[in-house]
Amino acid sequence: MPPHIDETHDAQRLSWVEGANAGGDFPIQNLPLGIFSRAGGAPRGGVAIGDAILDLAALARGGLLSGEALTAAEAASAPTLNAVLELGAAPRRALRRAVSALLSHDAAQRSRVEPLLVKMADATMHLPARIGDYTDFYVGIHHATTVGSLFRPDNPLLPNYKHVPIGYHGRASTVRPSGTPVVRPLGQTKAPDAQEPTFGPAARLDYELELGVWLATGNAQGSPIPIAGAQDHIAGLTLLNDWSARDVQAWEYQPLGPFLAKNFLTTVSPWLVTMEALAPFRQAQPPRPEGDPRPLPYLWDEADQAAGSFALNLEVHLSSAAMREQGLTPLRLSHGSADAMYWTIAQMVAHHASNGCALQSGDLLGTGTLSGPSEDSQGSLMEITRGGAKRLTLPTGETRAFLEDGDELALSGRFEAEGFRAIGFGACTGIVEAARTA
């Protein structure tokens, strides 16, 4: 479906909710979906607005909704969003329009809606959906080129990269929401000059700046998803940090690719920014460089190319324990844009299902690291420090090749387009803790 812009995207629309008009990630133009709980309460669906959460279960019982909006709110009252995602785009859009009207500054029902708000500070966030499967792709071409050049200077990109969206099957059970501690993984490694491998805490712990793609509806096993209809299967986006143990990865990845180096933790921002909210920020996919092969027909759709990318700015910040103790501002490691994606999210979905693989509501796809072409836009320490050869200096004088215990890593993203109010994802953070040996 083409991007659908309506009154919910109006930049002039303000909310009566405190903090919603202050330029943060969650103005009334966003209204992302998430799962929250309060102390002693069960997890349930909510909508972020300013510094508050609108309780969808309470809203569904409040007599303020009808039709598809009510159906969606009732489905979102569960401990996961899977049921509402399965309904598809129309009920999500109806709920969005109804909630936008209820939270608008001139809403007549304010007195009935205000008691349904929960302060974010009083809530615990959970994963948006029950994840059946998690697949991580490799669509950031600048990351692939830079990392490839560290190992294959004369041939950084392998021959298949520009023909097929490459991915690997990750571990759904270790995907966690923002704020989950990053326990340094144990693993088997082998130093280049060692005769035998050793086992112990990973020394080269890294992050990866990615987007997560939440699936709405799936497909029957054996039935591919056509590229022209792939967008209909996508519910929305999140930030994603695919934590990586580079020393473990170097020893284990041949011949089958990533395994224990990447399945110990994947962090996501807990709010699902819906495709409906992203309509104003869709833009043309960057054209392929002259001479690059045209994808095979099952991966090519003109409408997808016309609106397959996003006007999205991404940043990464690091603060050590010493920096936080001294009250120092986190160090920005990189800033770039989503233009780094060589393949669109629709191409990712279409390729994943092209062999008849059954995708399911709530499945999560990672884009792979989204680095830009310049040194200040690289989305991993593997690139920034050139595999540890070029150490990074922090404001305290500390240096880093890779992440140390006590380091806090924060991803952020803002969608911005002229004539529209900017929206964001919220927090995607993690603090590294020492390995647990027993």
242 is annotated as contributing to ligand binding:
yes
Cα separation, 302 vs 393, whole angstroms: 45
Pairwise CA distance, residues 56 & 428, whole Å: 23
Residue 161 assigned ligand-binding role: no
412 DSSP β-pair partners: 315
174 DSSP 8-state letter: G
Residue from 9, 142, 143, 351 carrying the catalytic annotation? 143
Q: Is 267 annotated as a binding residue?
A: no
Per the annotation, does 133 bind a ligand?
A: no
Beta strands in 351-406 (DSSP E): 364-366, 392-393, 399-400
The owner of tokens 């109006």 is: 10
* CA max distance for the chain: 74
Was 210 annotated as part of a binding site? yes
DSSP H or E segment with residue 93: helix 89-103
Distance CA 338, CA 361 (A): 24
Q: Tell me, yes or no, if 351 is annotated catalytic.
A: no
Angle at 302 between CA 215 and CA 135, to 5 degrees: 25
* Count of all residues that appear for the chain in the document: 438
Which residues have a Cβ under 8 Å from the Cβ of 409 and sit 6 or more positions away?
182, 207, 241, 316, 317, 318, 403, 429, 430, 431, 432
CA atoms within 13 A on the CB side of 214: 33
**437 — alpha (psi -120 to 50), left (phi > 0) or beta?**
alpha
398 labeled part of a ligand binding site: no
Q: Is 136 annotated as a binding residue?
A: yes
* Residue 55 marked as a ligand binder: no
Asked whether residue 416 is marked as a ligand-binding residue, the answer is no
* 252 annotated as a binding-site residue: no
> Which one-letter amino acid corresponds to residue 100?
S
Let me know: does 380 contact 241? Beta carbons within 8 Å.
Answer: no
Tell whether 6 is in a known binding site: no
CB atoms within 10 A of CB 1: 11
CA distance linking residue 427 with residue 270, whole number of Å: 8
Angle at 233 between CA 230 and CA 239, to 5 degrees: 100
Binding residues for Mg(2+): 242, 262, 266
Feature table: binding site for Ca(2+): 136, 208, 210, 242
What residues are annotated to the active site? 143
Known binding residues are: 136, 138, 152, 208, 210, 242, 249, 253, 262, 266, 369
Binding site, annotated residues for substrate: 138, 152, 249, 253, 369
